[in-house]
Amino acid sequence: MLPSRASVVVVGGGPAGFMAAIAAAEAAGGRFPGGVLLLESTPEPLHKVLISGGGRCNVTHACWDPRLLVDHYPRGGKALRGPFSRFATGDTVAWFQAHGLELVEEPDGRLFPRSNRSSSVVETLRRAAIATGVVLHTAQAGQTAQALPGGGFRLRLRSGAELEAEHLVLATGSHPSGLRIAASLGHGLVAPVPSLFTLTLADHPLVDLAGVAMDPVQLELLLTPLPGIAATATKPQRQRGPVLITHWGLSGPATLRLTAFAARALRERRYRAGLRVDWTGGRKPAELEGWFADARLEQARRQLGNWRPWPDLSRRLWLHLLALVGVDASLRWADLPRRSEQALITALRDSRYQISGRGPFGEEFVTAGGIPLSEVNLATMESRVQPGLFLVGELLDVDGVTGGFNFQHCWSSGWLAGQALAAQRTCS
Ligand SMILES: Cc1cc2nc3c(=O)[nH]c(=O)nc-3n(C[C@H](O)[C@H](O)[C@H](O)COP(=O)(O)OP(=O)(O)OC[C@H]3O[C@@H](n4cnc5c(N)ncnc54)[C@H](O)[C@@H]3O)c2cc1C
């Protein structure tokens, strides 16, 4: 049975909502007489946690210094230094450890549960909620909220039920219902746009190479100025890292990072832009010329198709580039004309493609946009517009690149809100 009153009502049973509810209940040590209520609109909470990281849940990233951590947030950035200086990656690892879940670091810095199952993260959060007395109600969607004259809120649910809360936490992710509730309480909105998506290439010139992965590759967006539109500043528009060639274009961490940082600029251009690809990962021409000189000398009798200038260069890509610049792969290294060498070095360092859209499967994992950070006290996650209202997680205009950074923001913002809620309770 849904009670008619609660000290704290958290709307949204995702990672940010669970963390806020658990942290509040733990920090208050049971001193919320009306209890902490967690409302989730679907039958099962923590759905995104369950499907995240390919069913393994990339909980956070081994970036321990808050000053460096903020560089992974295209929206949020430096403003997150304060929150992360109070609860960052190390705190997340310790928090989960204290609640019975060990996180293990992979060579690329991503941290996963030792079980390699996202269900362990879900179980840990659910167990911690029960242990701290947080009461979860599923299939209960918050619809509207009204601030009461004497403080507190009246929340109306989609079912028609109503309840009063001394403190209200909105943790509804990118769902429009949470943004609507926040707007009705006086909040603005930075228009949501997709972030973290793959790229479709026009007439896909690399389609025969689908499945080829290269690391590192340097990608640079070539954005044309738009007449009459002040293009959103997007820094940096160059990314370096692993790239995967797909059946429709490009994917992989460097592509996702590029699209995250340029999410708005690409949207303004309807996902049409030029792309410069440096398959060497940013190596200087002199270094490549050195490798070519070595190959001419040491592999003189070998055919070009059978010896690549450096071993990590994909053979399929090398053969593609040879054909592109019109060099016969059966030519011996000793016979490679100088001008063909220059053409190959240019193709390796400066291949140009046209982006014609986002990837076809809606791969975006997060939404850029939401409640502006200027409207939130980032030390407590309390609204500057409506006292007693707390805003956490993806609902805010914060998003990170792939690698566990989005969950990290949920853990940090949820934990901070929890501490502030408990502190307000203790003081009153
Ligand atoms: C496929 C996929 C994989 C991902 N993998 C990773 C990863 O490995 N690492 C990483 O860091 N990030 C990952 N992300 C991003 C990450 O899942 C999100 O950033 C994160 O879940 C946001 O958490 P949240 O609590 O703010 O919102 P959500 O997780 O969206 O939770 C919000 C909850 O609120 C509920 N809700 C919405 N409206 C209402 C309402 N009106 N009343 C009550 N309940 C409501 C929703 O049903 C939902 O359960 C992934 C995302 C996707 C889609």
Q: Phi and psi (nearest 5°) for 10?
A: -100, 125
- Answer whether residue 260 shows pLDDT above 90: yes
Residue 381's pLDDT is what? 98
Which residues have C-beta atoms less than 6 Å from ligand 1? 11-17, 39-42, 45, 47-48, 51-53, 57-58, 141-142, 171-173, 175, 177-178, 365-366, 393-395, 404-407, 410
Q: What is the number of the ligand 1 atom nearest to the C-alpha of 143?
A: 41
Q: What is the number of the ligand 1 atom nearest to the C-alpha of 141?
A: 42
Q: What does the pLDDT average to over 235-244?
A: 86
- Domain residue spans in the chain? 5-194+365-427, 197-363
Q: What does the pLDDT average to over 84-105?
A: 98
Q: What does the pLDDT average to over 186-209?
A: 95
Whole-number average pLDDT of the chain: 94
Per-residue confidence band for 425, with pLDDT thresholds at 50, 70 and 90: confident
- Answer whether residue 232 shows pLDDT above 70: no
Residue 236's pLDDT is what? 52
Cα dihedral across residues 418, 422, 423, 428: positive or negative: positive
273-324 residue pLDDT tens = 999 999 999 999 999 999 999 999 999 999 999 999 999 999 999 999 999 9
Q: Which residue owns the Cα nearest ligand 1 atom 52?
A: 365
Q: How far apart are CA 12 and CA 293, in angstroms?
A: 61
Per the structure block, which two tokens stand in for 351? 């291949």
Per the structure block, which two tokens stand in for 354? 């046209």
Q: What is the number of the ligand 1 atom nearest to the C-alpha of 181?
A: 41
* Contact status, residue 98 vs residue 422, Cβ threshold 8 Å: no
151-175 residue pLDDT tens = 999 999 999 999 999 999 999 999 9
Q: What does the pLDDT average to over 10-29?
A: 97
Per-residue confidence band for 225, with pLDDT thresholds at 50, 70 and 90: confident
Q: What does the pLDDT average to over 170-189?
A: 97
* Contact status, residue 277 vs residue 222, Cβ threshold 8 Å: no
> Ligand 1 centre from 52 Cα, in Å?
9
| DSSP-assigned states of every residue in 92-138 | HHHHHHHTT--EEE-TTSEEEETT--HHHHHHHHHHHHHHTTPEEE-
| Superfamily name and number for 5-194+365-427 | FAD/NAD(P)-binding domain (3.50.50.60)
Residue 31's pLDDT is what? 84
Q: What is the number of the ligand 1 atom nearest to the C-alpha of 177?
A: 41
> Ligand 1 centre from 51 Cα, in Å?
10
> Ligand 1 centre from 15 Cα, in Å?
7
Cα dihedral across residues 411, 414, 416, 422: positive or negative: negative
